[in-house]
Structure 1
Amino acid sequence: MDTLRGLHTFVRAVELGSLSAVARELGTTQPTISKTVAALEQELGVRLLQRSTTHLAPTEQGRRFYERARRVLEEYGEAVADARGLSQTPAGLLRVAAPVSIGVLRLNRLVQAFLALHPQVEIELILNDRYVDLVEEGMDLALRIGANLPPNAVARRIASSPRGLVASRDYLARHAPILHPQDTAAHDYLRFAWAGDTYTLHGPGGETAVLRGDGRYRINNSLGIRESFLIGSGIGLAPAWLVQDLVDDGALQWILPQWRASAHELYLLYPARRYLPARTRALLEFLSERLPQQPGFEAVAA
């Protein structure tokens, strides 16, 4: 069978939800489309679509195969355009993954600014703090903090964000002054639910302080910690990308600014393939330029 034709027919069947709709789009008959999909299923040895007189939907295997097939077709189109020396206008759907807090605070507005520049592009922004497999879940691009990077993706380090102790000015006015790292022991410490009960700060002259983070409140979300700082619930260790705008506004204050924890490293990830769609390349370059300019980030050498 014509495999590319079979892939295209199957992908459009999933996207349109109807074999007859695919037939109309391709200028052929519904039985012809049905035979093409059946031949693809026979070649693969799996059922890709569940059909009824009124409904069509991919099976679990079909859903997974659809994500891969769509990318095969995109890569083929990009390879053809590259071979012909054609430039492409960014167009089509982009699926982007990011952690919840940085997605809400720093990425959301940038994505919409990108859409304003590229009216033929659509973006589906998926905010999730769990590990996301780009290929398995059909993501074109992902924003990730930290060095635990997947082997099946290309990672571009674009920025870093220093981390330090922070609290509201109101909290600091009501409690004992913190002049040295050891003074933090007398304060309520806010921390992530999954973090350990100790943390390390690096100070001037190569000094290191290993401190206990004792407090009665733990939470598993960065936005929750940010809000807790604002209402004066305690001190805590935070990356600058999470709080720098509030520091600049005067609501929060860095504590012992000469003492810092290890920085957050920011990466853009994309699937390890040769031909990236024009829309992916455009967003990759846009975010590589704009994200380091956001509050709390520092650009890194290319």
Structure 2
Amino acid sequence: MSYLESLRVFVRVVELGSITAGGRDLRLSPAVASNRIKDLENRFGVRLLNRTTRKLTPTEIGRAFYDNARRVIDTLDEAEALVSSFSGRPQGVIRLTAPLGLGRRLIAPLIPPFCAENPGVDFRLRLSDRNVNIVEDAIDLAFFLGEPTDSALKWRKIADCPRVLVASPDYLAQRGTPQVPEDLAGHNCLLLRYPRSPEYFWVLQDEDGPRKMMVGGRFDTDDGDVLTAWALGGEGIANRPLYEVAADLQAGRLIEVLPRNRPLPAQFGCLTPHRRLQDPKVRMFADFAVRELKKVF
């Protein structure tokens, strides 16, 4: 492995806080990743990382080395992107992230046809309903539902994503059908939550404008597909993107609740770190994805 590749290993290890995680991200075994770090330390005769059984952190010189190594890698990636743009043959890896359900249904199917047209491009798709640190995780393109808040990222809106409240016919037969938003207080609302998430509420549309409704329930999860499964199983009322439950609504497996007070639609778009904006392969895939996804909404 070259010196440059060792730099890449060191950078990812620092960013992910683990030799195992850094190696896995680069498709290397922990032993190989550890040897690459040792090679760098032996090369310079300094310790770059402090290792304990629970934590790995860069030393003072390791932090300074990381900052410069990160710039070297970014510069090289930009140079490769520039050459790629002139050659017309995009090369390299695109790192994507998306929410679980959205990623499975809408993003993952886009990758094979894009790769068929661009065989020099590889993908690393990471799906999670939790918040992802796009910069720290070196993500090139993040598909996102909601309101972006990080000004360091470039937001590209794709569409407004309608949301609906849904429950199974059995649940509504047993517990009754809410007639007004206030009735939700007497129901088991199925909630999307994760550690350190903000206090949860649903914002519903009303004649007088958006209404913030505090809701509660016995079940919460960080996986949106689990919420849908619970709703299908008759456990309560879920707040879901329409595209995820449209087939269940059409088949009668789910029924829309409070159709006159639908949740506010979520903005659907993609986020890109500014330093990645000029990478032609990322731009090409973003254009391709936006074009295809607009057909869905």
Shared fold, TM over 0.5: yes
- Separation of aligned partners in 1, 2:150 and 2:46: 29
Letter in 2 for 1:128: S
Match of 2:138 in 1: 138
Structure 2 match to 1:260: 262
Distance 1:46 1:95 in 2: 32
Matched with 2:162 is: 162
What's the TM-score once normalised by structure 1's chain length?
0.68
- Structure 1, unmatched stretches of 5+, are 1-8, 18-36, 50-57
Number of residue pairs the alignment of both structures matches: 253
Question: 1:96 maps to which residue?
Answer: 96
Contact 1:78 1:275 in 2 (8 A): no
Deviates more, 1:239-248 or 1:251-260: 239-248
Letter matched to residue 112 of structure 1: P
SS in 1 for 2:265: strand
Instruction: Provide the aligned C-alpha RMSD in A.
Output: 3.6
Identity of aligned residues (%): 29
| Equivalent-residue separation in structure 1 for 2:212 and 2:93 (angstroms) | 47
Shift of 1:145: 2.0
Out of 41, 51, 73, which is 1:70 matched to? Answer: 73
Deviations 1:7-46 (A, max 9, x none): xx632455799xxxxxxxxxxxxxxxxxxx98xx87xx97
Tell me what 2:222 maps to.
Answer: 220
**DSSP-derived class of the 2:252 partner:** coil
Structure 1 equivalent of residue 179 of structure 2: 179
CA apart distance, 1:285: 0.7
* 1:85-144: CA deviation from partner (whole Å, max 9, x where unpaired): x35222221111223332233322222332233222110112234433333322211112
Q: SS in structure 2 opposite 1:236?
A: strand
Q: Secondary structure of 1:262's partner?
A: coil
- Structure number with bigger Rg: 1
The offset of 1:227, in angstroms, is 0.9
Q: Which amino acid aligns with 1:115?
A: C
Pair 1:169–1:63, CA change in 2 (3 A): farther
- Give the superposition deviation at 1:219: 2.4
- CA separation of 1:188/1:73 partners in 2, compared to 1, >3 Å: closer, same or farther? same
Q: Look up the equivalent residue of 2:3 and give its one-letter code.
A: F
Supply the distance in 1 between the matched residues of 2:198 and 2:152 (Cα, whole angstroms).
Answer: 27
* Equivalent-residue separation in structure 1 for 2:285 and 2:140 (angstroms): 10
Matched, 1:114 2:114: yes
Partner SS state of residue 93, structure 1? strand
Aligned to 2:149: 149
Corresponding position of 1:201: 204
Report the counterpart of residue 191 of structure 1 in structure 2. Answer: 191
Measure the CA separation in 1 of the matches of 2:74 and 2:175. Answer: 57
1:231-254 Cα deviation digits (max 9, x unpaired): 111113223244234323432221
Q: TM-score, normalised by structure 2?
A: 0.69
The alpha-carbon distance between structure 1 residues 275 and 11, as it changes in their structure 2 partners (threshold 3 A), is farther
